[in-house]
Structure 1
């Protein structure tokens, strides 16, 4: 082979190598450009927009994650309110009204002159007083966020928070108040409209600590002789009385309930032959008032005029328990509500109990109402009229009270039960 051919081949091989290197360089450059493009695009996707951040904020709210909500606030908002105050403010309001099923609908966004991005939205939630729904607007602002390497990022949106984010018109010193208008329990009546169960008055025996005799060596710091005397008259242990007096809410001028007694019938005392039980009750209450610190006042109670003569028929009410509240969620029972336990009280519980009225309002620091957020009107319980004749019920009971018996008096034509008596009671 001639030298000229070998040189020609070498030049041709070198040309191919240069071409391959150039192509490879172009491909690498293209790949790098594609990588940078994808990276830039992903970075853009990672920057959450104001409407997305508001949705995220509301999701944290629905979960009760108030601490994480605070992380979405801008720097100025964090200067205006501390994390602890922010968490307490939101928790007290939302949990106080028992907010649930919180929903937000984004209505749109708009750019403001100061550069902030405003998000318009509709919020709806359930509460103790029914549904609360309102339109609102909140601003977001781009804010440089320090990175792990100490360098600041291009910027992320943060919420410009104020109290009106919770509810429109809610000022910094305003409060959200929940008030309850208690429903009256319906009455149970006989066929003639006579009361078998309904509103009544009793005598509440209570103690005012500031007026009691003190003794550092006595039970709870009170005079032992007074407590022992009170214990004997009311049939309550000294330990039980001192436990009531040591409750956290008790102050010197508080009236601490101890026991409820029957109300003294003043008219009966004027009769020619006053009822013996009424006379004894009067004497008991007069003696109780001689003990320092004892106060007796009228209190509303559920009254049963026939007493033991219709106890099994009418039944009774009792304060609700934790189990009752779990068994009847959303039915308006409060921790100090009563519930029918037996007889007609239990059978017609739904009709008798009624529905408490509830109002949720924004009030100023002076206590003036600013805005009603939601309200449910009070609905008193229904009265229940039975076919029972109370006079016949009493007559039968009086005739058989010392015997073991069960008597039913019925109208043979209609099948109506006129009396249902069980003795002894």
Structure 2
């Protein structure tokens, strides 16, 4: 041992150890305080935040679609129903290999390329994560079974049930009701996106479109617990949706079917109106099409077949067809002439079969080759004498005629809840100058007086004008909705709508001399029940009194030296047949307009149809039953 070797200082080492131990303990204690503080911050101070974040991963808020309201006719017949349908859907978050999943699925059930394209479009438009997207609708039981046994190799694929619109009467009501279809991005931007967050369908046409807000209802919500893959484990909380309102229409389904039967697939349209309320009793446009094809998406083949048909089944003739009204407007022309004092009700002419503005000038021909001889206003209406109307039109010009036609609803949309209805064309000096860049000529007035030339009207407008005549000037707005149907303890209740809040009613027609209503109506009565009326065969045996007016609208022009010969013309170039009427005469209940395209004369084609429809409504008869009985006998 060296002399310089020092002895160990245990006392000093012990002190150094204690100092180090204290420092170490202090550091550990400080770290413990930091850890506890952090735990306190996370577990206590940030509790609400992290619970919410945890719930976001575990709990989802899902919208619940409301049940769409039903639609009934005036007698409680169901017109638009909801039926369960099964669809195959795909949840993208679970389908890791989406393209392969689609390939595998196509091996199990038939899926077209168009359905694949539509699915991918919907996938891009998906509104939130973990929202399944439909791929194919209306699965059969066999297809559901095949998918079920292959779930293990189809991640993300589900079979889901939903209520879809169903129209029990098919094409009988499509032009009156419209239909619903898949909602698209443009439509979604026009509605409350939250209220439609679980809705796949929206009204596309007609009543379904106009009353979309009432029929749709209010969306509900439910909180659901999901697993890590997003599959719903249980429902934690639910706010039920508010179902849409059930609608009751003025439509009479029996009358609608009878009307369709009488038209027998001709290109035609009929509108029948309740003269007291303005409710539309029947609205038929033939041919039609099955709206059920459009609910979940029509195939390209079926749509092209409808679109390319020469009969235009997609076209709603009743509210969008613009036709020359022909002689059906003559009562209004006569009314404008006598009420403005241009001529008196006793004004009489001699009709040689033609009229000229100047001696030796162009001949405006009457429909009767050798004329009607001596004719006053009543006979001019009853026999539809063109020459009498040429004469008064020459005297008064276009201004009174255009004004009075406008008072009866021509040239405007006066219906309340038919969104596709057209205003058609009510010509005037101003209209021709702005649209044709030429002045109005006297010959134009003569053409207007017999419902030809620039004037075009829809069957709905003709029925509306007839209802105003029946009411002696009192306006009723054509509308479909009768009320909202609710079920209470006392039974089914009907809440009437406030139509004035939807659309203001046009002003009643106030004549300078109200007694002229009876002059005009007398002429219309003599059309069907007078000794020389153009439709006297239709009204001669009627057990009630009614008034009407025939019309024949020219489709192609006939040269001065030629005569109209239907047999020499292709059917599409033949005259349209028109008839308007109201019944009974004293206390009207129904006003009707009938047009049969290329049907020839109004008295021979359109008038018999109208008579049978009025009989069915007023007397309860059914021409379908009668024809069966006649066939058996």
Q: Which has the higher strand share?
A: 1
What is the TM-score of this pair, normalised by structure 2?
A: 0.29
What is the TM-score of this pair, normalised by structure 1?
A: 0.41
